[in-house]
Amino acid sequence: MWLAGALLLGVFITDHNTEHFVPTDRAAADKTAAAHAAETHTPAPQPITAADSCSRYPAYPCFNTFNYALAGVVPAATGVTKADWAISSTAPTVLTLGLPALRTLAWIFTVVLLAGVTGLLRKG
């Protein structure tokens, strides 16, 4: 239950700070945004953040708050994946320190859960 709580808090923090997530491959995101802007005769978003609509950069992977929180909080939840989004350098402390703190807590909760399930915590 604690692990699920840490994940939900991670989703909440991620969802409420989408404007502080930027594409890791800025050139690819800018290229697809510029191409879409030229097709639709609209201005391209500058800079591109996860708060922008995915339709503004259709060829770049859309930001998913649940998947980002799952990969950032729950130990080994998604395996090895390529991160398409990163936290910007201007992000608030709740984001830059909150997600790593939740990941540390999730590791502790996982160790305690595994120790309890395997019987390592039995007395005597």
Q: What is the pLDDT of residues 2-55, one digit of tens each?
A: 888 888 999 999 999 999 999 888 888 888 888 888 888 887 777 888 888 888
Does the pTM of the predicted model rise above 0.85? Answer: no
Q: In whole angstroms, give the CA distance from residue 115 to residue 98.
A: 26
Residues of the chain with pLDDT > 90, as a percent, come to 18
The answer, yes or no, to whether residue 105 has pLDDT greater than 70, is yes
| Contacts (Cβ under 8 Å, ≥6 apart) of 9 | 102
Q: What is the pLDDT of residue 12?
A: 95
User: Can you say whether residue 62 is alpha, beta or left, with left for phi > 0 and alpha for psi between -120 and 50 degrees?
Assistant: beta
